């Protein structure tokens, strides 16, 4: 059995506008790089190889917390070392903490002969998300581990459904400000109007149906949020102008990625997606804000395992 493996956990988009805490998809880029080693002594060691100043203590680190949850179900006295090199900026809204937690458990599971299911891995990784945001949520973790577009049908018991979808491109527009997930959750309303709930449920059902039918027009009509976006969008400068310019450039629609500040826009093709990204960058350039943009397909694989090549 191998003692080390390199994995590449991708960025993810959670909520997909109307599906708060239940919908998400994986991106092809950006992604982190993690080297996971199996060691003979029990315990977790975290080595951060980037400049984000993340805590090395396992119980305070999202990758470490996820592995500690896994080790509670491992009878043997083994442990893991993790070297993490992050490209997904913490606080970006594109699943930085989920990438760390997912990469750690997927890598460790590979070194254990894949004894745990994907559902188990999401369950372990939720301990990492709890460290990051104070809440055990899985809308970033599920697509990071399963790949593609995922639906969290239930959290207890955990029930994850991988959805089919037509070819889609994604433009990510990331202004260089930070919105902490914990802060973005605190400002949400604790109660909603029944009429708003009915609108939201219709849009979630329409979006899922649009994905599975390959109906781009239905996808576009369903990318509407009447509950979360009106509250969180105040944290993101230029949000409404970005949405307007993106639709004019050919986007099907989009909104806040996770808790922000990054935004995402779904497109039918790469040409439109590049135009959307350029329009978003132009808006922030005029505002004097630095902005990163990415153009990606939806990643069907999730965490990539760099399986060593065996020479003959």
- Residues acting as catalytic residues: 129, 181
Q: How many CB atoms are closer than 10 A to CB 118?
A: 18
Q: From CA 127, how far away is CA 72, in angstroms rounded?
A: 12
Strands 149-155, 253-256: pairing is unpaired
| Residue spans of alpha helices (H) in the chain | 62-71, 96-111, 118-133, 141-146, 181-186, 194-213, 216-222, 229-232, 239-248, 270-287
DSSP 8-state symbol, 66:
H
Q: Which helix (H) or strand (E) holds 4?
A: strand 4-8
Q: From CA 254, how far away is CA 239, in angstroms rounded?
A: 11
3-state secondary structure of 224: coil
3-state secondary structure of 236: coil
Strands 79-85, 43-48: pairing is parallel
DSSP 8-state symbol, 190:
S
Tokens, residue 33: 């790089």
Tokens, residue 102: 């997912």
Q: From CA 261, how far away is CA 247, in angstroms rounded?
A: 19
Task: Compute the half-sphere exposure of residue 195: CA atoms within 13 Å on the CB side of its CA.
Answer: 0
Position of tokens 């899922």?
208
Tokens, residue 9: 């956990």
């Amino acid at each position: 059995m191998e003692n080390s493996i390199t994995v590449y956990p991708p960025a993810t988009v959670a909520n997909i506008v109307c599906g708060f805490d239940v919908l998400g998809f994986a991106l092809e880029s950006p992604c982190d790089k993690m080297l996971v080693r199996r060691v003979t002594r029990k315990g977790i060691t975290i080595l951060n190889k980037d400049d984000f100043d993340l805590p090395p203590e396992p119980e305070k680190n999202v990758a470490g917390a996820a592995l500690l949850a896994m080790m509670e179900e491992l009878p043997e006295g083994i442990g893991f070392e993790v070297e993490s090199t992050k490209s997904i900026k913490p606080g970006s809204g594109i699943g930085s903490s989920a990438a760390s937690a997912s990469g750690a458990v997927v890598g460790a599971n590979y070194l254990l002969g894949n004894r745990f299911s994907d559902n188990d891995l999401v369950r372990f990784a939720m301990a990492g998300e709890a460290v990051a945001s104070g809440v055990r949520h899985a809308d970033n973790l599920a697509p990071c581990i399963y790949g593609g577009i995922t639906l969290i049908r239930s959290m207890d018991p955990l029930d994850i459904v991988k959805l089919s979808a037509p070819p889609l491109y994604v433009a990510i527009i990331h202004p260089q400000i930070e919105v902490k997930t914990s802060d973005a959750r605190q400002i949400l309303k604790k109660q909603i109007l029944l009429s708003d709930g009915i609108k939201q449920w219709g849009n979630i059902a329409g979006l899922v149906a649009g994905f599975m039918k390959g109906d781009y027009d239905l996808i576009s009509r369903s990318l509407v949020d009447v509950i979360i976006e009106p509250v969180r969008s105040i944290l993101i400068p230029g949000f409404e102008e970005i949405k307007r310019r993106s639709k004019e450039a050919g986007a099907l629609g989009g909104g806040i990625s996770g808790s922000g500040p990054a935004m995402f826009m779904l497109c039918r093709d790469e040409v439109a997606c590049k135009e959307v990204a350029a329009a978003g960058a132009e808006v922030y350039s005029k505002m004097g804000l630095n902005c990163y943009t990415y153009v990606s397909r939806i990643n069907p694989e999730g965490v990539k395992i760099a399986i060593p090549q065996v020479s003959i």
